[in-house]
Amino acid sequence: MTLIYLISILTLALAATLFVGRLDKWLQKPIVEPYHKKQCFYLRHEKRFLGFLVLAVGKDYLIMSKVSLSDLLKVRPDMNKKAKAPARVKLLNQKVDYVLCDKKTAEILCAIDLFDKEQINPNYLNHCIARHRLFQSAGLPWVRIPIRLSYQVPSIKKLIKSVINQQRTEEKKRPPEEPSLLDGETVTRL
């Protein structure tokens, strides 16, 4: 009996040694993946605008950048299952340049996209119309700001504050939504 245990232990030790030896060789092989690190997270114009945005509203709001629409919006629970999947994919495949959130609650307050006035074409206009409808139906303000070499900090601050204040005023006018469960059933209030 002890001979069987001894042989089993020796076999396991030999297998572990061989595995570790091979693992070491595998780890030493150069990794050939089709990726490499970018030099900078932001494009030049995005980095420039971010600096002005921080000066304008950085004390008042959290500034997030390159945010997926799926992190900002969710598909309505009352949609049928066939329509939900493409709607989710649409959100996953798009992003906004910046998002402003409340510093205390992390409530999403405003989405911001930069655009190049030189690159406007019919396809881009259709994209903007679709995106405008998307944000409008979701009740999230969307601000488009043209790419420039320089920005006026007070102008950015005034624009952002007015958009957020307008949204908050509209939300106060709306009747409160009925809370709903994930499956779309309405929660009854007691």
pLDDT in tens, 142-162: 999 999 999 999 999 999 999
pLDDT for the residue numbered 80 = 87
Bridge partners (DSSP) listed for residue 144: 113
Note whether 92 and 68 are within 8 A (CB).
yes
Average pLDDT over residues 11-34: 65
pTM flag (> 0.75): no
**Confidence band, pLDDT 50/70/90 cuts, at residue 184:** very low
pLDDT for the residue numbered 183 = 45
Dist CA 146 CA 128 (whole Å): 13
Q: Are strands 108-115 and 95-102 parallel, antiparallel or unpaired?
A: antiparallel
DSSP per-residue string spanning 91-150: HHT-EEEEEEEETTT--EEEEEEEE-GGG--HHHHHHHHHHHHHHHHHT--EEEEE--S-
Dist CA 30 CA 129 (whole Å): 47
pLDDT for the residue numbered 9 = 74
Max distance between CA atoms of the chain, in angstroms, equals 85
With DSSP H G I counted as helix, E B as strand and the rest as coil, what are the percentages for the chain, rounded to 5? 50, 15, 30
Whether 185 has a pLDDT exceeding 70, the answer reads no
Dist CA 79 CA 94 (whole Å): 20
Average pLDDT across the chain, whole number: 83
**Confidence band, pLDDT 50/70/90 cuts, at residue 37:** confident
Average pLDDT over residues 156-170: 92
